[in-house]
Amino acid sequence: MVGFIVGFLFFGFVSALGGVWQARTNPKTLNPKVFLPVILAVLSLLGGFATRRYDVNRLREEFQKLTAAQINSLELARGGQTFTVTNSVRIASVLHPLQSLKLIPGHHSSPTNPVTLRFQIGEGRYSYEIGKDSEQPSEFWVHWQGPAPAEGSAIEIGRFKSPDYEKLVNEVMLNAK
């Protein structure tokens, strides 16, 4: 989708340059057809932003509706190590703080020390990455990685605040079973 939008914007930009050149060389023959791609490019860009916003909201709402009862096994992965949690109380303790997930405006920081959560519900596979904010120690970023995570495919679906979430995850990983 992003490639299509960028290509369309490039086409619109080149067409606009042609229209501007035509208007400079012969101002009486301004062809409105030349500016149509620019209008379409702007509309497609706005449509892309609206679609992205809708997708992020849908993914966040889907994530917030998860319950520990739906998940039989939760994998936590960090630094090449994977821990499997099957205890429903521990699964609930990992998921509960995530229910307060919301969009928080950026503040020029980035996620650090990420932990990956993987689980399956029915035929659906889920993968999320949770990282601690580099500036605010009680803020965590949540990225949806899709059913088959690929480099650069993660989408930030929100952030949450919890002063002791990292400690909680570390304890669950140590006591995984």
pTM above 0.75, yes or no: no
Kindly tell me if the per-residue pLDDT of 31 is higher than 70. Answer: no
Express each pLDDT in 108-142 by its tens digit: 888 888 999 998 887 888 888 999 999 988 999 98
| 139-144: strand order across its sheet | 81-85, 74-78, 111-121, 124-133, 139-144, 155-161
Cα atoms in the 13 Å half-sphere on the side-chain side of 27: 1
pLDDT of 38: 66
Express each pLDDT in 40-80 by its tens digit: 777 777 777 667 666 777 788 887 887 888 888 889 998 88
| Assigned CATH topology for domain 67-174 | Immunoglobulin-like (2.60.40)
pLDDT of 2: 54
Mean pLDDT of 80-105: 85
Mean pLDDT of 83-97: 88
Mean pLDDT of 86-111: 84
Express each pLDDT in 133-144 by its tens digit: 999 889 999 888
pLDDT of 9: 62
What whole-number distance in Å separates Cα of residue 142 and Cα of residue 131?
Answer: 7
Which of 124, 74, 109 minimizes the C-alpha distance to 95?
Answer: 74
pLDDT of 22: 61
Q: Which residues of 68-81 are buried (b: 16+ CB within 10 A; e: fewer)?
A: beebeebebbeeee
Kindly tell me if the per-residue pLDDT of 161 is higher than 70. Answer: yes
What are the domain boundaries of the chain? 2-61, 67-174
Q: 134 by DSSP, 3-state: which?
A: coil
